[in-house]
Amino acid sequence: MVKVKRVFGRLLLFMLIVVVISGCSTNQDVSSKDNNGKGSSKEGGTLIIARLSDPENLDHHFMSTINAASVTHSKIYEGLVGRDKNSEFKPLLAEEWKQLNDTTWEFNLRKNVKFHDGTDFNAEAVKATFDRLLDPNVASPRANVFKMVKEVKVIDDYTVQFILSEPFSPLLSILASHEGGIISPKTIEKFGKKIINEPNGTGPFVFESWTPGQEIVFNKNTEYWGAKAKVDKVVFKVVPEETTRISMLETGEAHIAEPLSVPMLSTAEGLTSVEVYRSEGFGTEYIGFNAKKKPFNDVRVRKAIAHAVEIDSIIKGVYNNIGKKSNSLLGPKVFGYHPDMKAYEYNLNEAKKLLAEAGYPNGFEVTLKTMDNKERANMAEVLQSQLKGIGIKVKVEVLEYGTFVEQVNKGNSEMFIYSWRNATGDADYNQYNLFHTNSHGAAGNTFFYSNKEVDRLIDDARKEKDPNKRIELYAKAQELEMEDAVYIPVRVIENMAAVAKNVSGFGISPASYLEINDVSIK
């Protein structure tokens, strides 16, 4: 069995804590009141967010997870382009833009914007940011995302051109993601090739401190160029134990607890002072194989396991039917999603036949790695049980989040449970990062998968201007990836958080970035 602490024991203990708290409460509303006796929002105060885990770093050029980017994106750092509530592109640090030809994009920058250190935002700052990102001596794992950028050319103080080596249709989608965040030139000069641990951008919050493993503190940027944040301070507290995160909401020690797991959902819904936030994301959860490691370098083995996993029972038993069953690593809201693609059907006889053909009639032993959250650990147990049916003995390793990411990125894995949240809403971000040969490792392709035809289709889709033709190219690529059984799709991610009822304005974008700029506390 999996060596993790018992979830149900924790839940029972937590329910007892809630009963005690509820019994001791006077149930009086201590929020500020308006003339109608209703709670009224007010500006100011400290927003406390209790989170499962710490970011691996605070440098957008070195981040490999949305978990990290969610802390700083649109809060400390901003890009030239943003997304509105409908995920449409909107002006941010660039007021307008136009594509001059197949390989040249021009951006007119916003004036009278300053970085948190007082430095002027201008064309030179944009150039400095992308020069650092693309510098091979810096060795940013995110450089691949912008590898088509040959030069960022300064035209004048507030005009820049992105000169591309080849046409790249999804450029705006990448610029709107965290990789496109603009960094103060002074910070770049200070840290150079080293990872930035004092983030400095133009956003509505200013970095104050980071105590790794404990908390990150931001202050309101009183000089912000746009609509200013409504709270004075934000504290991201690292609280690995979910029952503790939820009880912090009940006692007033925190305002938001995220992520909210499926096992804890009904408990959170039962608390009088808590509301549950839910929204469908761009991303998906999946079971992945390291295609370079035996026996998973044999496609028949991968297909056998795909046929031996009963996804419906996982979605029902582990996820309580929260999140749609997935047929791809693209969520339905992502441009390029292939609605007609078929995943492998549950078929034990076919699974056993394929294993025998691959030379494993009696199965084998394998290590399955996952991070330390409840659903993933529970899914690992179900997989452990299901794969016994074809003779595969699964040893489960539940690892701390950062350790898990590091090991999978380095290829120190055989099978793993993972997710890809898609920061841009465009298929390219999924396809190039997860499946292209150039993206092995920390860039995203932790399958260490390589298929020349898939590479060609992805490359062609990046250059293609016609949206319908791009969709066709991505459909073919997804079908080949499924044929190669590189992964087993599980479900479309549903973003969930527990939020105190005295908090308004909180959201999570489809890309899974926390949205707190409009949050106020009653």
| Mean local confidence (pLDDT), 57-74 | 92
Within this chain, do residues 346 and 481 fall inside the same structural domain, yes or no? yes
Strand residues in 213-306 grouped as ranges (E): 215-220, 233-238, 256-258, 274-289
Instruction: Find the CATH number of the domain harbouring 146.
Output: 3.90.76.10
| Mean local confidence (pLDDT), 70-82 | 97
Instruction: Find the CATH number of the domain harbouring 397.
Output: 3.10.105.10
| Mean local confidence (pLDDT), 418-432 | 91
Domain-embedded: residue 274: no
Domain-embedded: residue 266: no
Domain-embedded: residue 70: no
Bridge partners of 206?
219
Domain-embedded: residue 36: no
* Segments forming the whole domain that contains residue 118: 77-188
pLDDT at 34 over 70: no
Asked whether 498 and 210 are in contact (CB, 8 A), the reply is: no
Domain-embedded: residue 332: yes
**Number of folded domains that form the chain:** 2
Distance (Å, whole) CA 476 – CA 496: 32
pLDDT at 369: 98
Within this chain, do residues 410 and 303 fall inside the same structural domain, yes or no? yes
pLDDT at 455 over 80: yes
Within this chain, do residues 454 and 337 fall inside the same structural domain, yes or no? yes
Domain-embedded: residue 359: yes
Domain-embedded: residue 68: no
pLDDT at 41: 55
| Mean local confidence (pLDDT), 308-334 | 95
pLDDT at 269: 94
pLDDT at 14 over 80: no
| Mean local confidence (pLDDT), 186-208 | 96
pLDDT at 31 over 50: no
Domain-embedded: residue 44: no
| Mean local confidence (pLDDT), 155-179 | 96
pLDDT at 35 over 50: no
| Mean local confidence (pLDDT), 152-180 | 96
pLDDT at 417 over 80: yes
pLDDT at 85: 84
Distant-in-sequence, close-in-space partners of 66: CB < 8 Å, separation ≥ 6: 178, 283, 421, 423, 511, 512, 513
For residue range 228-280, list pLDDT tens digits in order: 999 999 999 999 999 999 999 999 999 999 999 998 999 999 999 999 999 99
Within this chain, do residues 171 and 310 fall inside the same structural domain, yes or no? no
In a 3-state reduction of DSSP, which class is residue 377?
A: helix
Of all residues in the chain, what percent carry a pLDDT higher than 70? 92
For residue range 381-404, list pLDDT tens digits in order: 999 999 999 999 999 999 998 899
